[in-house]
Structure 1
Amino acid sequence: MVSIKDIAKHAGVSISTVSYALNGNPKVTEETRKRILAVANELNYVPNAAARTLKKRETRIIGTFLTTFEGSFYGGLLQGMKEIMNKLGYDLVICSGTQSHRMLSEGMLDGAIILDREFSDDELIQHANRGHKLVVLDRELSHENVVQVLLDNKAGATFAMEYLISQGHKKLYAVTGPEGTFDSEQRLAAARQTVERSGLNITYKEIPGNFDKKSGFAAAAQIIAEYDGPAGVFCLNDEMAIGMYDALKETPYRIGEHVHVVGFDHIDIADYVQPRLATVDYSERRWGAVAAEQLIKLIGGKGTAEHERIYVSLITGDSVRPANVNIDG
């Protein structure tokens, strides 16, 4: 590999003069710069990115760490990040798995956006203590090098449960997300509180889920097995709600009549199922864009908020009030 030492030897100048010329430093004349660049081109010189990064202490690369890429949720989120980063001169790298965590400690990234439960809070605090700049989307973490950009999960879950209660349901289910995940815990806590605050005689039950269609399908089977009248179901994300739609369409039980479903995330397919899925809505693209903006401000030493909130609303779709009917096996 050709080095600046080789260029200096061929051009008959010092190594420092070559370095100045390659980096556009005004310490060398335009004539000398052109001559050195011509030699570098002749020798097929390629700059050493690792050496440049070490010298400047920047890579202009930001990592986004995800637990999984499955489902339709991530497209808008990542696009929002990419648009802002590219506009401000940064590139985006998508990372997953514990081995990728070393990209932070080894200085391969200028900063990171975390939506990855494989990172523990302690690990992230250690990175922050070393000066790494972080934005977290999936936890509450207080540190001068960390900004929280969080969904208003509690408000969304409250909207969903209040809507089901307003439809007259006396039996409610919540299909949960993976155990220990921030979004699931926040949404579930708000769902419980909404039922308790209602003061109504409501039967409430939780069914374990995993934020995927398969667990929504399984939850539907349990609800059918226990069916004794109309029920309202809050699926803590839309993937599970769609799985429930798929399960129920092969049965006599009708969505919106026997089982009333509300999801969370407003993924694209939610607008096309029949009846249209009621769901908690927000802009994934905006969430990603705000995360990117906050991280780049943090990297640049500009003032940032300790946390940002992404607000949500409820889209009710084509609701049908529950019918007082029973269905035999």
Structure 2
Amino acid sequence: MVSIKDIAKQAGVSISTVSYALNGSDKVTRDTAARILRIADELNYVPHAAARLLKKRQSHLIGIFLTDFSGNFYGDLLQGVKEYLSGKGYDLLVCSGAQSRRLIPERMIDGAIVLDETFSDKELLQYAEQGYKAVVLDRELIHPNLNQVLLDNKAGATLAMEYLLESGHDKIYAITGPKGSYDANQRLHAVRQAARRAPFAEVIELPGNFTREAGEEAAKRIAEQYDRPAAVFCLNDEMAIGAYRYFRSHAQLTLGEQIHLIGFDNIELAQFAQPRLATIDYSMRKWGSLASEQLLRMLAGEPVEPERIYVSLIRGESVKRLPIAP
């Protein structure tokens, strides 16, 4: 690999002169700088990224850390992040896994957006103590170098439960999410609160992990023990799609009549289900954009406040209303 030492030798100048020329310094004449740049180009010189970052202390790269890339969830979120950052002269790195977190202390990125349940609070707080800035989308942490942009999970789950209860259901299945997921735990907490307010309703929790396979498995169990019309609240749309697929393909149960299904996230695939899948909607693109805006404001030393993303209910179509339980 060509170094500035090689350029200096061929140009007949000092290493410091080459460094000044490559960095656009006015400490060298235009003619000398032009000659050095021409030689660098002829030698196919590529600047060492890590060394450049250590000197400038800025990469114009933002890292977003995700648990994984499965399902249809992340597309609009990442698009919202990318669009905002691109408009401000920043590029985006999408990261997953413990090794990728080295980008933070190595200063290969200027800041981080975190939606990764495997990224521990302790590690995030340690980085924050060292001066690194991040916006978290999946937890609540108090530190001057951390801010949070969260979904209003409790409001969304409450809307879903009230919708099912007002439709007359006295038997509701809740398909839970991963135990370590902040979003899943917040939604489940709201489900339990709604259940306590409606003692006439039987609320049954079945395990899930936010995958379609988990939705199918839960639907199979529900079909096997079916004794009367029931509602199924899947704590995300991926599981709702899995449950929908099982009920349509395997179970002798009619969606919208014997089974009333609702999800959370309003992913694109859920919008094509017939009958229309009820779900909790919010703008993933806005979520990503707002997180990016908050992070760049933090990097600029501007004050920020925690934010929540508004959610709303999308009702399902062709749902037969049941008599309201006494």
TM range (shorter): over 0.9
Distance 1:158 1:323, change over 3 A: closer
Amino acid at match of 2:54: L
**Alpha-carbon contact 1:258-1:322 (below 8 Å) kept:** no
- Which deviates more, 137-146 or 5-14? 5-14
* 1:320 corresponds to 2:316: no
Structure 2 equivalent of residue 205 of structure 1: 204
In 2, distance between residues paired with 1:25 and 1:105? 29
In 2, distance between residues paired with 1:323 and 1:179? 33
In 2, distance between residues paired with 1:4 and 1:304? 42
Structure 1 equivalent of residue 170 of structure 2: 170
Structure 1 equivalent of residue 135 of structure 2: 135
The structure 1 segments of at least 4 consecutive aligned residues displaced by more than 4 Å after TM superposition are none
**Alpha-carbon contact 1:136-1:148 (below 8 Å) kept:** yes
Unaligned runs of 5+ in 1: 325-329
In 2, distance between residues paired with 1:239 and 1:35? 59
Unaligned runs of 5+ in 2: none
Amino acid at match of 2:207: P
The percent identity for this pair of structures is 59
**Secondary structure of 2:243's aligned partner:** helix
Alignment RMSD: 1.6
**Alpha-carbon contact 1:258-1:323 (below 8 Å) kept:** no
For residues 9-24 of structure 1, the aligned pairs below 5 Å read: 9-24=9-24
For residues 1-329 of structure 1, the aligned pairs below 5 Å read: 1-198=1-198, 200-249=199-248, 250-305=250-305, 307-322=306-321
Report the Cα offset of residue 111 of structure 1.
Answer: 1.4
In 2, distance between residues paired with 1:274 and 1:130? 52
**Alpha-carbon contact 1:80-1:285 (below 8 Å) kept:** yes
Amino acid at match of 1:276: R
**Secondary structure of 1:105's aligned partner:** coil
Report the Cα offset of residue 268 of structure 1.
Answer: 0.6
In 1, distance between residues paired with 2:42 and 2:236? 58
**Alpha-carbon contact 1:282-1:313 (below 8 Å) kept:** yes
Aligned length: 322
Report the Cα offset of residue 319 of structure 1.
Answer: 4.2
In 2, distance between residues paired with 1:195 and 1:313? 20
Report the Cα offset of residue 76 of structure 1.
Answer: 0.7
**Secondary structure of 2:313's aligned partner:** strand
- Which deviates more, 279-288 or 94-103? 94-103
**Secondary structure of 2:93's aligned partner:** strand
**Alpha-carbon contact 1:260-1:322 (below 8 Å) kept:** no
The TM-score, its normalising length taken from structure 1, stands at 0.93
| 1:111-152 C-alpha deviation (Å, 9 max, x unpaired) | 111111111111110111111111111111111111101000
